[in-house]
Amino acid sequence: MRFIGRIYRMRTIGVGLGFFCVASVFRLHEQSWPAWVLLAVYAFAWPPLARMLAIRSGAPARTELRNLAFDSMLGGVWIALMQFNPLPSALILAMLSADKVAVGGVRFALRTSLGLVAACLATSAMLGFVVDPVTPMSVVWACLPFMVAYPLAISHVMYGLANKVAHQNRWLARLSSTDDLTGLANRRQGFIAAEHALALHRRTGAAAVLVVLDIDLFKEVNDRFGHPAGDEILRQLAVTLQQCSRATDTPIRYAGDEFLLVLPATALEGAEVLSKRIRELFAELTFAHAPGLRCTISLGAAEAHRDMADVEDWLQQADAALYRAKEAGRDRLVTAPRIDTFDRRERLAIDDGDLPAAAARPAASESLAA
């Protein structure tokens, strides 16, 4: 229906302005009254009639395409009746072709052009193939409004359609990277953020922490209060994560009640401070669908290091820390074992070929003596 509406507006403008082009040549040639009646009916009655036919049809879009093909046939009739007067004939031909290309591409334009040529030749044959190659200034002036206004109208429609496509593309991009329920980054987008943080650590040595967290006993909450309450809790946790995160952090809904936090330029100490703030804020929340309920969360954190194969490895280490937090009684943060500074330097030197493996670490006795 939007397509029909756009075509109706363009047809009304086009045939309304085209009326003056054709009428100026009809006046010049003192055209017969049946031609004038046909022109007036087409210019002023055809647009609403075509719209009504399309709307009432069982296949509106297909009917509108047939209407557009009819427009092309009538264009051929006007060209013949104007005795092929160069300027208005070329103008009508160009605007009709632009319409068809905009609607159905070059193939549709070529297909409808066959009807235009056939109607033009048939009409011209009835008139004896009369040709008038002279375009006086009166016809030029009558064609100017059509020549200027109709291309601007087409451009306006195309601009609106391009904006709509761009808006839909942005919406699809958000949809493909955002979790519907919480508004956080989804799993796919979260892995991209984690990959960037891990790649930056490998290039520059910048610290980064991945935190995995979930809601304690969430299944029991869902069983007791129902899924609306569960959804409310998940949304509230998402809001808490966003409130506590920096602009550079990425909170993610990973799956179910499991969330991730990608914390670039952060060491484990920073993750501990952040997790404490999240736990405190979340524990204070109340829920409309679960009155009297107080929820807690457990967290596992792992710091990025060079030995990690990929993000899956990083996630596995943080997830193992979360599992230990659950075993230790929940409502706490547990961090994965940290690789000390010396070990990092040692691995870096070995990877770069600066130190032999045997000389990489001092003997235990030397370390104790030191």
Tokens of 122: 């048939």
Please tell me whether residues 289 and 160 are part of one structural domain.
no
The least confident of 24-28, 241-245, 341-345 is: 341-345
Please tell me whether residues 169 and 196 are part of one structural domain.
no
Structural domain contains residue 181: no
In whole angstroms, what is the distance from residue 197 CA to residue 210 CA? 9
Please tell me whether residues 206 and 345 are part of one structural domain.
yes
Structural domain contains residue 182: no
In whole angstroms, what is the distance from residue 370 CA to residue 366 CA? 6
Structural domain contains residue 367: no
Please tell me whether residues 290 and 330 are part of one structural domain.
yes
pLDDT by residue (tens digit) across 249-261?
999 999 889 999 9
pLDDT at 202 over 70: yes
pLDDT at 150 over 50: yes
Structural domain contains residue 215: yes
pTM for the model:
0.55
Structural domain contains residue 365: no
Please tell me whether residues 20 and 166 are part of one structural domain.
yes
Structural domain contains residue 180: no
Structural domain contains residue 363: no
Please tell me whether residues 159 and 215 are part of one structural domain.
no
- What are the backbone angles phi and psi of residue 59, rounded to the nearest 5°? -130, 80
Local confidence band at 340 (pLDDT 50, 70, 90 cut-offs): low
3-class SS letters over 152-183:
HHHHHHHHHHHHHHHHHHHHHHHHHHECCCCC
Mean pLDDT of 160-174: 80
pLDDT value, residue 351: 42
User: Hey, what amino acid is at 164?
Assistant: K
Structural domain contains residue 368: no
Please tell me whether residues 110 and 209 are part of one structural domain.
no
- The domain in which residue 245 lies consists of 187-357
- Percentage of the chain surpassing pLDDT 90? 56
Tokens of 128: 């004896």
Radius of gyration of the chain from Cα atoms? 36
pLDDT value, residue 101: 86
CATH number at residue 299: 3.30.70.270
Tokens of 246: 């920096």
pLDDT by residue (tens digit) across 100-143?
888 888 898 899 999 999 999 999 999 899 898 888 999 999 99
Query: Which of residues 368 and 191 earns the better pLDDT score?
Result: 191
Q: Are 264 and 211 in contact (CB under 8 A)?
A: no
Q: Are 254 and 187 in contact (CB under 8 A)?
A: yes
The least confident of 93-97, 202-206, 324-328, 366-370 is: 366-370
Please tell me whether residues 144 and 89 are part of one structural domain.
yes
pLDDT at 354 over 50: no
In whole angstroms, what is the distance from residue 101 CA to residue 367 CA? 80
CB-based contacts of 264-270 (< 8 A; 24+ apart in sequence): 264/196, 264/197, 264/200, 264/206, 264/208, 265/206, 265/207, 265/208, 266/207, 266/208, 266/209, 267/207, 267/209, 267/303, 268/209, 268/301, 268/303, 268/335, 268/338, 270/209
Question: What amino acid positions are annotated as catalytic residues?
Answer: 257
In whole angstroms, what is the distance from residue 284 CA to residue 287 CA? 10
Please tell me whether residues 275 and 165 are part of one structural domain.
no
Please tell me whether residues 118 and 196 are part of one structural domain.
no
How many independent structural domains does the chain possess? Answer: 2
Tokens of 133: 């190659």
Please tell me whether residues 94 and 162 are part of one structural domain.
yes
Choose the final residue of a domain: 145, 174, 203: 174
pLDDT value, residue 327: 93
Choose the final residue of a domain: 149, 174, 199: 174
Which range, 179-183, 326-330, 344-348, 357-361, has the best average confidence (pLDDT)? 326-330
pLDDT by residue (tens digit) across 66-105?
999 999 999 999 999 999 999 999 999 988 888 888 888 8
pLDDT value, residue 339: 64
User: Hey, what amino acid is at 78?
Assistant: W
Residues 195, 199, 200, 202, CA torsion sign: positive
Please tell me whether residues 39 and 106 are part of one structural domain.
yes
pLDDT value, residue 157: 78
Choose the final residue of a domain: 139, 174, 209: 174
Tokens of 25: 């040549």
Mean pLDDT of 252-273: 93
- What are the backbone angles phi and psi of residue 335, rounded to the nearest 5°? -105, 145
Sheet of strand 250-255: strand arrangement: 250-255, 258-264, 208-215, 297-303, 333-335
The per-residue pLDDT of the chain, averaged, comes to 86
